[in-house]
Amino acid sequence: TISLDRAAGMNEAVTHLLDQGHRHFGLLAVARAPQSRYDRMTGIRAALRARQMEFDRSTLSLDHLHERSNDFEYGRRLAGSFLQQSPRPTALLALNDEIAIGAVGGLQDAGLKVPRDLSVIGFNNQEVSLLISPTLTTVDQNIAETVAAAAEVLLAQLTGQVGAKPVPCEPNASTYNLDPGAIAAAVTPRTKAILPIHLYGQTADLVAINAFAERHGLFVLEDAAQSHGALCHGRASGALGHAAAHSFYPSKNLGAMADAGAITTDDAKLADRLRHLRNYGCKVRYQNDYAGLNSRLGELQAAFLRVKLPHLPAWNERRRSLAARYLTQLQGVGDLVLPQVPSWAEPVWHLFVVRSAKR
């Protein structure tokens, strides 16, 4: 598993606050996975231990809200809860820069001066941290190295499990999706499949990709993790290639309450093989036909998804409405390069991603 070194980052942040003379700080927390909480607490404990300080409520206060619309507003609301505490912390540590900026706004709304009355430190080192007054102090997390390490692990798994060698292919600079015109240069006599990713909720041009694949006898596997309900030439993502992988992680347009996913295909033989693979390689208990995995979708997550599925069209339409406003109101702002939508595409805007030199 590759992840940010949360323990080291939290250690650095708390050490900085201790160096500034703070001895009681509040952690603007969010409901996260147990491992994430454990990592952060490990970093805090290490920083306090280095100063021979106790890890208790006299040094650290934690609070979080169960309802969370966006991180800026979440930080603003959460900062108010710390102002009600007695004794009140002298510094607030946020889990990302957006929450920290929201907290600064909440403190200023209450008439406090930052950092004179209360200090705030962020956790991401994002460009947005430079855009407020006073400039936000924030911990640097080397995300580029993390992504590179994650890619290396993925490539090793593909090579080790199925003997596949992934060959990167340049995306279209306007849509960020696989450029059908660039595929030919990446294909060799050993190529078996094309894996187009429908990035950020907009489909790749599967009509052109499928035509190329058919001419060369290649399998097309869609990555439809972010494109639930998106259309390509009037057809839904996930029903365009030979098979498609879907993610129902909680942050997706259609999300379960924990990790979940599915594969769709209209190939009966492939579907039968997949049903084996998801269940340790067997359909009959203890009769393993293949080397498989434990990848069954749990009944509880399926129940959540069944309740949410009818709402997906309305949720996607709301995303389209917001994206239309962004495309109109951000036009010509600074050096922003806005996403482009081909005439044949109907994206669902899982994310609205812009390009900028100040990223």
At 84, which CATH number? 3.40.50.2300
CB 99, CB 93: distance < 8 Å: no
In a domain, 271, yes or no: no
Are 185 and 224 part of one and the same domain?
Answer: yes
pLDDT of residue 90: 82
Residues 137 and 24 in one domain: yes
Given a contact cutoff of 8 angstroms between Cβ atoms, the answer to whether 293 and 161 are in contact is no
Which residues, in sequence order, are CB contacts of 8 under 8 Å at separation 6+? 43
pLDDT value of position 32: 59
pLDDT band at 353 (very low <50, low <70, confident <90, very high): very high
**Quick one: 121 and 174 in the same domain?**
no
Residue 270 maps to a domain: no
pLDDT digits (tens, 9 = 90+) for 334-348: 899 999 999 999 999
Closest CA relative to residue 55, chosen from 24, 95, 30, 22: 24
What domain range includes position 306? 167-260+297-314
Type of residue found at 226: Q
The answer as to whether 328 is a domain residue is no
Task: Provide, rounded to the nearest whole percent, the portion of the chain with pLDDT above 90.
Answer: 41
User: Is 352 within the bounds of a domain?
Assistant: no
Secondary structure of residue 98 in the 3-state scheme: helix
Q: What tens digit of pLDDT does each residue of 68-100 get?
A: 556 788 888 888 877 887 777 888 887 777 888
Show the CA angle centred on residue 99, arms to residues 110 and 132, nearest 5°: 70
79 and 28 Cβ atoms separated by less than 8 Å: yes
Tokens matching residue 224: 């439809």
Q: How far apart are the first and last CA of the chain?
A: 26
Task: Give pLDDT tens digits for 123-142.
Answer: 665 555 555 555 556 655 55
Q: Angle at CA 55, nearest 5°, toward 50 and 61?
A: 125
What pLDDT shows up at residue 1? 36
> Do residues 23 and 59 share a domain?
yes
Please tell me the predicted confidence (pLDDT) of residue 240: 94
Question: CA 194, CA 185: separation in Å to the nearest integer?
Answer: 13
304-333 burial, b at 16+ Cβ within 10 Å, e below that, comes to: bbeebeeeeeeebeebeeebeeeeeeeeee
Any domain includes 340: no
SS3 for 140?
strand
CA 20 → CA 15, 64, 91, distances in Å?
Answer: 9, 25, 10
63-77, 235-249, 252-266, 278-292: lowest mean pLDDT where?
63-77
What's the farthest any 2 CA atoms get from each other in the chain? 72
Q: What is the CATH number of the domain that holds 186?
A: 3.40.640.10
H helix and E strand count, the chain: 10, 14
Residues 126 and 178 in one domain: no
Considering the domain architecture, whether residues 176 and 99 belong to the same structural domain is answered as no
**Number of domains, the chain:** 2
Instruction: Indicate if 310 and 173 belong to the same structural domain.
Output: yes
Task: Please check whether residues 32 and 128 belong to one and the same domain.
Answer: yes
Residue 325, in any domain of the structure: no
* Confidence category of residue 35, pLDDT binned at 50, 70, 90: low
More confident residue, 153 or 77: 77
With contact defined as beta carbons under 8 Å apart, do 112 and 90 qualify? no
Query: Would 277 be classed as within a structural domain?
Result: no
Verify that 91 and 138 share a domain, yes or no: yes
Q: What is the pLDDT of residue 291?
A: 80
pLDDT band at 200 (very low <50, low <70, confident <90, very high): very high
CA-wise closest residue to 265 among 230, 229, 219:
219
Whether residue 69 contacts residue 104, with contact meaning beta carbons closer than 8 Å, is answered with no
Please give the model's pTM, rounded to 2 decimal places. Answer: 0.63
Same domain, 101 and 27: yes
Least trusted range by pLDDT, from 145-154, 160-169, 236-245, 250-259 = 145-154
Name the band, by pLDDT with cuts 50, 70 and 90, for residue 272: very high
Residue 326 lies in a domain: no
Same domain as 175, residue 309: yes
133/179 same-domain check:
no
Say whether pLDDT at 33 is over 70.
no
pLDDT in tens, 280-320: 888 888 888 878 888 888 899 999 999 999 999 999 999 99
234 burial type by CB count under 10 A (0-12 exposed, 13-18 middle, 19+ buried): exposed
